[in-house]
A and B are shown apart, each in its own frame.
Chain A
Amino acid sequence: MTVPALEVAGLTFCYPNGHPALEDLSFTVDVGERVALLGPNGAGKTTLALHLNGIHRAEAGSIAVAGTELTDTTLPEIRRRVGMVFQDADDQLFMPTVGEDVAFGPSNLGLKGTERDERVAEALAMVQAAEFIERSPHHLSGGEKRRIALATVLAMRPDVIVMDEPTSGLDPAGRRELADLLQTLDHTQLLITHDLPFALEVCPRSIIVSDGRVVADGPTPAILADTALLEAHRLELPFGFDPEFLTRRHRPAA
């Protein structure tokens, strides 16, 4: 049996005001899988993401990345292995230039000189943004910032990439470029979103989180075709989107 890339078991977390955010939440993601984490606003998706590389610490339950359990001693290693791309790229990009921002993670890993420069160049090449290296992040477009934010975690050579609302604030072309880009990466990916068509396009598998629990887990087309399930958890396909299309497109060839 292979070790899953990500294993979350019985995760429970309450906000300081006592409101439960996650309740006994469990799921696993296999190596190389692209999984969409769907759910309405306030379902606990971002809170879950912040647990995955130890920004929030679990009150109960455990998280393991490629078999390494998240503890105080493994924290630096887990943070390298799990790359978090935050919802607002302006929160993530804080250095004066793109190149320095991409170098921030590798520097924290202790890399220096040419080795670090290579990491920066490699990560920027992966997101097709090599020409931005000297630019200031503030003056890039939303789509460009999102790609650079992705590069800042790719430079740490993570095993798992977690993206929080990757399509928020992107125009259709930026969204298309991101979908294409994510499909070229071999990393295990967990995409937190309520953009259902994006989930369908990029992720073969989806998990619905609602009120801090996993309420559905399965192939994305089947989940999105279940209108009753979506409705029960405040998820909706965009207007004019035909659920029939899902079953037609993804029906195995006869």
Chain B
Amino acid sequence: MGAGHAHRLHVPGDTIVHRMAPEAKIVAAFAFVLAVAVTPRRAVWVFVLHGLLLACWIARAGLRPSLVVKRLAVIAPFVTFAFFLPFLAGGATTEVLGVSLSTEGLWGTWNVLTKSVLGATTSIVLASTTPVADIVRGLERLRVPALVTSVISFMFRYLDLITADLGRMRTAMVARGHDARWLWQVKPIASSAGAMFVRSYERGERVHAAMLARGFDGTMPTLDDRRASPAEWRMAAIVPMLAAVAALGGLLT
């Protein structure tokens, strides 16, 4: 099933992580992130363990660390604000390089930074080793409502088409000398967004008609009856179990 639409995120491979049943992988990733989230921020050694476990996953999946780091850039805007915490929070202060910073604030920054890096890296591993089609299938097998899985699946199917549409509209605007640099030049962009919405809506209607024509009755058929084997579940459970034990250790100490 290597022909999904996540061609930009999915890194083809034939490793143990790639082959793992998607539903097991989704649950494992979710459980691992949960373990990270409940880890107390002062239990630094637990975060080190979490990081090592995640590094094992990355290594077994054969992902280049540089690729993972590059993709981590998406969280940059979200964690930026965390760097303001030591300046804004009150309480006891610590001298760092001659600047007086809030101790609480520093722990806050550490907490946000480590948890978001670990969480984002987990989803990078999941997305890099599982085509979107398989993720959707995994969610279906986990009994996520068909409405939700269909929305995800359609979004990925048509995202490329809509982006291409938008690209063509932009090219057509540029070809007629449009060069938006200032706020008052935003009108053509706003109206193209409107046109885009109408076009996508109309396409939605046509797709629905085409589905009805092939006997669609409102429920998406299940096309794949395979399930993760108990062995696969056990394999997938190893990392989140270890992380949970570590988190528990952190909570108790």
Please determine whether B213 and A95 come into contact, CB atoms closer than 8 angstroms. no
The reply on A97 being an interface residue by CB < 8 A is: yes
Are the CB atoms of A97 and B1 closer together than 8 Å?
yes
Query: Which A120-176 residues sit within 8 Å CB-CB of chain B?
Result: 134-136, 138, 152-153, 156
The stretch of B139-147, B216-224, B240-248 in contact with A is B216-224
Q: How far is the CA of A79 from the CA of B212 in the complex (A)?
A: 8
Contact for A79 among B215, B221, B222, CB less than 8 A: B215
Interface residue SS majority, chain B? helix
Closest to B164 in A: A138
C-alpha spacing A83/B214, complex, angstroms: 7
CA distance A144 to B8 in the complex (A): 23
- At the interface, yes or no: B210 with Cβ under 8 Å from chain A? yes
Contacts of B212 in A (CB 8 A): 55, 79
Contact at A55–B213, with CB atoms within 8 Å? yes
Residue A107 is within 8 A (CB to CB) of chain B in the complex = yes
Residues in A neighbouring B194, C-beta threshold 8 A: none
Q: 1/0 contact trace for A27-52 toward B, CB 8 Å?
A: 00000000000000000000000100
- Smallest CB separation, B48 vs chain A (Å): 39
Partner of A55, one of B5, B131, B136, B209: B209
Within 74-101 of A, Cβ neighbours of B (below 8 Å) are at 76, 79-80, 82-84, 86, 88, 90-92, 94-97, 100
The reply on A188 being an interface residue by CB < 8 A is no
Known: A100-B223, A107-B221, A134-B3. A94 touches B211 (CB 8 A): yes
- 1/0 per residue, CB under 8 A from A, across B193-235: the answer is 0000000000100110111111111000111010000000000
Tell me which of B3, B132, B210 contacts A135 (CB under 8 A).
Answer: B3
With both beta carbons as reference points, the residue of chain A lying nearest to B150 in the complex is identified as A94
Q: How far, in angstroms, from A152 to B157 measured CA to CA in the complex?
A: 17
Q: Are B206 and A104 closer than 8 Å at their CB atoms?
A: no
Q: Does A62 contact B (CB under 8 A)?
A: no
**In whole angstroms, what is the CA distance A103 to B224 when docked?**
11
Chain A contacts for B153, CB-based, 8 A = 95-96
Of the listed residues B154, B161, B214, B223, the one surrounded by the most CB atoms of chain A closer than 10 A to its CB is: B214
Instruction: Verify if B14 is at the interface (C-beta below 8 Å from A).
Output: no
Question: When each residue 124-137 of chain B gets 1 if its CB lies under 8 Å from chain A and 0 otherwise, what string results?
Answer: 00000001110010
Docked-complex contact B214 and A97, CB < 8 angstroms: no
Q: Please measure, in the bound complex, the distance between the C-alpha atom of A79 and the C-alpha atom of B214, giving whole angstroms.
A: 6
State the CA gap A115–B132 with chains docked (Å). Answer: 27
Residue of A nearest to B159 (CB): A138
| Contact B157 A96, beta carbon cutoff 8 Å | yes
Cβ contacts under 8 Å, A91 to chain B: 203, 206-207, 209-210
Could you say which interface size class chain A belongs to? 20 to 34
A71 in the interface, Cβ–Cβ < 8 Å? no
Q: Is A105 an interface residue (CB 8 A)?
A: yes
A108 near B217 with CB under 8 A, answer yes
CA distance A104 to B206 in the complex (A): 16
Residues in chain B near residue A138, CB distance under 8 A: 5, 157, 160-161
Question: How many residues of chain B get a CB closer than 8 Å to chain A's CBs?
Answer: 33
Asked whether A136 lies within 8 Å of B215 as measured between CB atoms, the reply is: no
> A92–B210 contact, CB under 8 A?
yes
Q: Is A206 an interface residue (CB 8 A)?
A: no
**Whole-angstrom distance from the CB of A159 to the nearest CB of chain B?**
14
Q: Which of A96, A135, A156 contacts B214 (CB 8 A)?
A: A156
B157–A105 CB distance below 8 A: no
**Are A76 and B215 closer than 8 Å at their CB atoms?**
yes
A109 pairs with B215, CB closer than 8 A: yes
Kindly report which residue of chain A lies nearest to residue B4, judged by CB atoms.
Answer: A96
Contacts of A84 in B (CB 8 A): 210, 213-214
Q: Which of the residues B156, B157, B223 comes within 8 Å of A103, measured between beta carbons?
A: B223
Expressed in whole angstroms, the Cα–Cα distance for A80 and B158 within the complex equals 26
State the Cβ distance, B204 to closest chain A Cβ, in Å: 9
Whether the pair B209, A104 counts as a contact (CB closer than 8 A) is no
Docked CA distance A50–B206 (Å)? 11
Q: Is A53 an interface residue (CB 8 A)?
A: yes
For A50, the chain B residues whose CB sits under 8 A away are 209
| Further 13 A-B residue pairs, CB within 8 A, beyond A95-B157, A104-B214, A108-B221 | A55-B209, A86-B213, A91-B203, A94-B157, A96-B131, A96-B136, A96-B156, A105-B214, A107-B223, A108-B214, A109-B215, A134-B3, A136-B7
A-B contact pairs, 13 of them (CB 8 A): A82-B213, A91-B206, A94-B157, A95-B153, A96-B4, A96-B133, A103-B223, A105-B215, A109-B215, A134-B1, A138-B160, A152-B214, A153-B213
